[in-house]
């Protein structure tokens, strides 16, 4: 103890004694308020190790944040391995005659250092690439939360800036987590957002299941006035409840699907946990091929992904 503190100790003792004696009681109150997990529930960076990251856990009115990625970190860092895994390779495994070959390289999937995830499609050919469709000279990225996070019902949203250019096909979507036991489309698929480079002003949302597989039940909205979704970030969202899914663009609903209105021969399978996916495809049956006007590298930027439960 320093000399001046030693001199003060007799005088401070009567003051500090009651304070220090109260510390155990304060700790008891804190444990009672926050539960037995206490600080152990948090990772070394102060965010919940397996829960929300960087966003207010209270969420918007009526919602409680249960999972998030804010994509903060230095440029070229890979996405958080505790939250995301990679899909790799080319067709025929994707089933849409797409041209891209997915990799796990930071050149295709990494943080941009500005608070975004960048999924980048590049016009290049790498050793070992094998593709059943297209010229096999485009790399890109696709990440999922399979085995990391899945949920039934809630509010699922992402703030995204899509790339422009014919043939590009960015998507934010969900797949039934039982896919290893139940083949698609029986496991279910919910597409929160798809944008075709040849229709840059239109956002598509859809759901797929038995009887509506290749041609899902689709809803869409258009910005109008010649505007493009590639010009800025937009918030793409679904509210998913039992028997109903509603799509939103920038907070405005533009379509919904109900289980009791699917029609004959269609089975509703959107009633169990789904995991999340982000990817940038190029070419394929729906978007068509890129052409000479398509600029590479093409980048899909994701500011955040957030999942909420009812409060």
Q: Does the structure show a pLDDT above 80 at 49?
A: no
Tokens 């039992």 appear where?
242
Looking at every residue in the chain, the average pLDDT score rounds to 86
The mean per-residue pLDDT over the stretch 120-143 comes to: 96
Annotated catalytic residue within 70, 91, 157, 194: 194
Q: Does the structure show a pLDDT above 50 at 43?
A: no
Rg for the chain, CA atoms, rounded = 24
Say if strands 101-102 and 138-140 run parallel, antiparallel, or are unpaired.
parallel
Residues comprising the chain, all counted:
311
Q: Does the structure show a pLDDT above 50 at 245?
A: yes
What fold characterizes domain 63-310? Jelly Rolls (2.60.120)
Whole-number pLDDT of residue 11: 43
Query: Token pair for residue 211?
Result: 């009887």
What are 117's strand-pairing partners? 111, 302
Whole-number pLDDT of residue 105: 98
Band (pLDDT 50/70/90 cuts) for residue 51 is: low
Band (pLDDT 50/70/90 cuts) for residue 57 is: low
Q: Residue 273, SS3?
A: coil
In this predicted model, what pLDDT tens digit does every residue of 254-272 receive, in sequence order? 999 999 999 999 999 999 9
Taking alpha carbons only, the member of 76, 79, 73, 54 closest to residue 65 is 54
Active site residue 124: no
* Better-scored residue on pLDDT, 266 or 55: 266
The mean per-residue pLDDT over the stretch 287-297 comes to: 95
What are 172's strand-pairing partners? 193, 278
The mean per-residue pLDDT over the stretch 222-241 comes to: 96
Residues 6+ apart with CB under 8 A from 13: none
Annotated catalytic residue within 189, 199, 218, 241: 189
The mean per-residue pLDDT over the stretch 184-199 comes to: 97
Active site residue 194: yes
Taking alpha carbons only, the member of 177, 144, 159 closest to residue 274 is 177
Q: Does the structure show a pLDDT above 50 at 36?
A: no
The mean per-residue pLDDT over the stretch 34-61 comes to: 47
Tokens 């798809």 appear where?
194
Query: Token pair for residue 112?
Result: 């941009």
Taking alpha carbons only, the member of 179, 188, 180, 182 closest to residue 207 is 188
CATH 2.60.120.200 domain position(s) in the chain: 63-310
> Is 0.85 topped by the overall pTM?
no
Q: Does the structure show a pLDDT above 70 at 44?
A: no
Q: Does the structure show a pLDDT above 80 at 200?
A: yes
Whole-number pLDDT of residue 170: 98
Report yes or no: 240 and 277 within 8 Å, Cβ to Cβ.
no
Whole-number pLDDT of residue 60: 87
Peptide bond into 185 cis (omega under 30): yes
Q: Does the structure show a pLDDT above 70 at 207?
A: yes
The mean per-residue pLDDT over the stretch 60-79 comes to: 96
CA–CA separation, 119 and 302 (whole Å): 8
The mean per-residue pLDDT over the stretch 204-226 comes to: 95
């Amino acid at each position: 103890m320093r000399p001046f503190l030693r001199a003060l100790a007799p005088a401070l003792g009567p003051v500090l004694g009651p304070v220090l004696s109260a510390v155990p009681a304060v700790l008891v109150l804190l444990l009672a308020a926050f539960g037995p997990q206490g600080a152990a529930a948090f990772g070394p960076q102060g965010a919940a190790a397996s829960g929300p990251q960087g966003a207010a856990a209270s969420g918007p009115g009526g919602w409680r944040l249960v999972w998030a990625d804010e994509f903060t970190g230095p440029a070229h860092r890979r996405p958080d391995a505790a939250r995301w895994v990679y899909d790799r390779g080319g067709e025929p495994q994707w089933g849409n005659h797409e041209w891209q070959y997915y990799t796990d390289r930071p050149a295709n999937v990494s943080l941009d250092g500005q608070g975004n995830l960048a999924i980048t499609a590049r016009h290049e050919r790498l050793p070992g690439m094998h593709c059943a469709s297209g010229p096999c000279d485009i790399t890109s990225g696709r990440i999922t939360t399979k085995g990391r996070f899945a949920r039934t019902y809630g509010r699922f949203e992402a703030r995204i800036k899509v790339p422009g250019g014919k043939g590009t096909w960015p998507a934010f979507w969900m797949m039934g987590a039982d896919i290893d036991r139940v083949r698609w489309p029986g496991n279910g698929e919910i597409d929160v957002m798809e944008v075709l480079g040849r229709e840059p002003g239109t956002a598509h949302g859809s759901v797929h299941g038995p009887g509506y597989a290749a041609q899902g039940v689709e809803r869409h909205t258009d910005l109008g006035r010649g505007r493009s979704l590639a010009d800025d970030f937009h918030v793409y969202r679904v509210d998913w409840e039992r028997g109903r899914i509603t799509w939103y663009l920038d907070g405005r609903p533009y379509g919904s699907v109900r289980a009791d209105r699917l029609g004959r021969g269609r089975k509703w399978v959107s009633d169990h946990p789904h995991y999340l996916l982000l990817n940038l495809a190029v070419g394929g049956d729906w978007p068509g091929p890129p052409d000479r006007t398509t600029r590479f590298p093409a980048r899909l930027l994701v500011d955040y992904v957030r999942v909420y439960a009812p409060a």
